[in-house]
Structures are given as structure tokens and as C-alpha cells.
Amino acid sequence: MSARALPYRPHNHDACVSQALAEARSICQQQNARLTPTRERVLELIWQSHKPLGAYDVLAKLTSEGHSAAPPTVYRALDFLQQHGLVHRIASLNAFTGCAHTGEHHTGLFLICRTCGNVLELTDTGVSDAIHKAASAEAFRTEAITLEVAGICPACQAEQNHE
Amino acid sequence: MSARALPYRPHNHDACVSQALAEARSICQQQNARLTPTRERVLELIWQSHKPLGAYDVLAKLTSEGHSAAPPTVYRALDFLQQHGLVHRIASLNAFTGCAHTGEHHTGLFLICRTCGNVLELTDTGVSDAIHKAASAEAFRTEAITLEVAGICPACQAEQNHE
DNA sequence: AAAAAAGTGCAACATTATAACAGTTGCGAG
DNA sequence: CTCGCAACTGTTATAATGTTGCACTTTTTT
């Protein structure tokens, strides 16, 4: 698979979403998991925004399109999607974003622009090796890594310089 | 300053707390910041637990000792302590822990045991260099790093083996 | 077809965090 | 000293985020 376009570069985002959904269906089939209509719709809504979406943002979009939904509906769908590696929760934002590296064994590193709100997910073996090494040095058994970098994305840096 | 004892090793924790408070007073004096009684008490409460404390845990302790406090009291104290590098917020737990590396320019790495709840804060230049390098490669201007590793601490690994 | 498992809808509730505003205290300028 | 500003505190109310429990439906298994 070729590299996915950077979120802050213009691109055909509908295609981006379609591809993510197709991958999701394929992954769920492999894992004998049921990507039900609600789950698929939640995944789609999350992918349609490059900015992470809060659970209640998703809920609002669902109800606005006639889906009779309550918070548990959304949280259950999000739990399912997380468990299958289709979305990530961004702890520092209490929000969710589509996983850009489905399938790969991903120690996701998230670059979060505090100006435009866009998020870029990277995987970097140098980083994850360093973290595992540091944890091992303390005899700590690593299970999950939360790594979120807040700052300013290239596009917003350029904006600032124009002022 | 010598290395502080690991949290999961037995040690004289009162001394640990006293030292942290003394450092805090010194730092606030240097920075012309007012470490008021409420702020100091909140810092002390947080240090008295190696497990991160939620804001409402702090609040409960304050009210139980007669301090008429409401949520904003606690959140304001915590904001102050964070701004001066005296406590860290653990995003994945919605909780706060004393900063074990006051003064140092700290990209804190937190090892969080999901069995006993203890947290160990490390600083590791290998890790932070790798993160800065990965962010730079995307032309991203890093401002803050959240790095939290969940897993099992050495003590709890030993426990598990005894069963 | 019956039983078991997985998923959904719904109401209530729990937890975490902030807003708005009035009152108080510390501290420097005149 | 005392006036006045800035920082800090207390209080009420409310917003935002997340969970529990239970009845019901759908899907899968046997």
C-alpha cells in the first residue's frame, strides 16, 4: 500500500474514507468480527474528519441523521473499533481518530496541531525501540504506549509567518 | 541530588514528601510564585500517594480534613502546580502525580502499572531525541509530549509468578 | 427449532472539568 | 499609611465525558 496523503495536504478525502472502510471490512472479516451498520457508520464519521472527534460529536452526528442513539451506543462502537485497531483514542483530547496504519503492529505516535486541530499518525521504530528499551531497563513489562505530541503543524507555521 | 528511590521499593516516604515540598518552596521562591497553604497542601496530598490521584480524590481528602473546598479550588491548585512543573497530569488516567524531576528539562516518560497502579517517572534522552527527530522529519514544531506506558511493574510480575 | 452468544436501545447515573461572579488578601505606588 | 490593583479564594451552577444495568433483538451455534 502506498503512503497515505498527509492530512494537511489537499487530497480527495472521500477516497481516503472509502479506502479506510474497505480495509475495515476486510480486517473484520479476517478476525470474524461483525462490522455492523452502526459500527461502520461511526467509523465513517470519524474518518470524515481529520480532526479527532469526541464521542459526543459522533453522537450528535448520528442523532442528527435520525439514528436514535444514546451515549452507550457510541462508546460501544468506539470500543469495538479500538479493539480491532480501526480507531485510536487520543487521551490528551478525549477524542478519537481513524487509524492510519491498520494491520501494522503500530506504536502510534500522534502529532497534534494545537492551532488547526489536525492529527497525523506516525509509526517510528526508532521511537518505539527507545521506549521499549527504557521500560526494559526498569524491568517493566510494556503493554500499551500512549504517545501524543502537541505543537504546530507545518501548514500553521507557514500561516504564522505570513502575519 | 541522588536518585530518588523507586516507588515500588520500600522506603521512607515521609522523607520523600518532605524533600519534594522543600524543593517546591525553593522553586516557587525562585520564580516569584506564591505557594499558598492550599497549593502546598494539595502538593503534599499528591506526593503522599505513589499512585496518581484524581482531582476528586484530592478534593475528598481536603474536605475530610475540614477544608471547605469545591472542585475549582482543586483544579486551580493543580493548574498552578503543573505550570511550575511540580506535578504532572497523566492523561490516560485523568489523574495527577508528583514530578520526580523538578527543575530538569523533563520529557517525562511514565511507567504505569495496571495492577498496582503505581507510576514511575523517567527521563530518557534516547527516547526524547527519537521523538524530536521523528517530529522534525515531518516539519512539526514540538511543544509538549505526552508519553505514558501501561504495563506491569517488576513487583507485580513477581507476584504473578508466585501464583 | 432451541439454546447460547453477541449486539442494541434506553434510562439513569457517575466522573471529570469549567464558567461566572463575588469576596478577600497581599503588595507596591503615591 | 492607605489606596488601588492584581492575584487568590469561595461558592454555585453547569458542562463535558464516560459507565451501569436491564430488557429486548438479532445472529450464531448446536
Q: How many Cβ atoms from other residues are within 10 Å of residue B134's Cβ?
A: 21
In tens, the pLDDT along B43-58 reads 999 999 989 999 999 9
Inter-chain touch B140–A146, beta carbons under 8 Å? no
Protein-proximal positions, strand D, CB < 7 A:
7-14, 16-21, 27-28
Which of helix, strand or coil describes residue B121? Answer: strand
- Of the candidates A144, A151, A153, the beta carbon closest to that of B150 is on A144
In angstroms, the CA A147 to CA B83 distance is: 21
Q: What residues of chain B lie within 8 A of the CB of A149, using their CB?
A: 131, 135, 140, 142, 144-146
Query: pLDDT band for position B1 (50/70/90)?
Result: very low
Strand D proximal to B64 Cβ, under 7 A: no
Query: pLDDT band for position B162 (50/70/90)?
Result: confident
Q: How many Cβ atoms from other residues are within 10 Å of residue A151's Cβ?
A: 18
The residue of chain B with its CA nearest to that of A142 is B151
Protein-proximal positions, strand C, CB < 7 A:
6-13, 15-20
Beta strands in chain B (DSSP E): 87-90, 95-98, 108-113, 119-123, 141-152
Q: Is B83 exposed, middle or buried (0-12, 13-18, 19+ CB in 10 A)?
A: exposed
Give yes or no for A22 touching B (CB within 8 A). no
In tens, the pLDDT along A53-66 reads 999 999 999 999 99
Of B25, B49, B48, B23, the C-alpha closest to B37 is B25
Whose grid coordinates read 521512607? B12
Taking the whole predicted model, whether its pTM rises above 0.85 is answered as: yes
Q: For an interface test with A, give the residue of B113, B147, B159, B160 to mutate (most A CBs within 10 A).
A: B147
In angstroms, the CA A107 to CA A88 distance is: 11
Give yes or no for B122 touching A (CB within 8 A). yes
Of A8, A6, A21, the C-alpha closest to A116 is A8
In tens, the pLDDT along A93-110 reads 999 999 988 877 677 899
Of B145, B146, B151, B144, the C-alpha closest to B119 is B151
Q: Which long-range contacts (CB under 8 A, 24 or more apart) does A79-87 make?
A: A80/A33, A80/A39, A81/A39, A81/A42, A81/A43, A81/A46, A84/A24, A84/A27, A84/A28, A84/A31, A84/A33, A85/A27, A86/A24, A86/A27, A86/A43, A87/A43, A87/A46
In angstroms, the CA A106 to CA A123 distance is: 6
Share of chain A above pLDDT 70, in %: 92
Give yes or no for B150 touching A (CB within 8 A). yes
Inter-chain touch B148–A120, beta carbons under 8 Å? no
| H or E element, residue A108 | strand A108-113
Give yes or no for A144 touching B (CB within 8 A). yes
The reply to whether A16 sits in an annotated binding site is no
In whole angstroms, D21 C1' to B40 CA is 41
Query: Of A80-94, B93-107, B118-132, which range is least confident?
Result: B93-107
Q: What residues of chain A lie within 8 A of the CB of B9, using their CB?
A: none
Domains in chain B, ordered, with CATH?
13-161 (1.10.10.10)
Q: How many Cβ atoms from other residues are within 10 Å of residue A99's Cβ?
A: 25
Lookup: nucleotide whose C1' is closest to A75 CA: D18
Which of helix, strand or coil describes residue A11? Answer: coil
Strand C proximal to A73 Cβ, under 7 A: yes
> What does each C-alpha distance from B48 to A85, B67, B113 come to in angstroms?
37, 18, 18
Q: Which B residues 82-121 have CB within 7 Å of strand D? A: none
The reply to whether A156 sits in an annotated binding site is yes
Residue pair B44/B23 in contact by the 8 Å Cβ criterion: no
Query: Of A9-13, A41-45, A59-63, A87-91, which range is least confident?
Result: A9-13
| C-alpha cell, A41 | 457508520
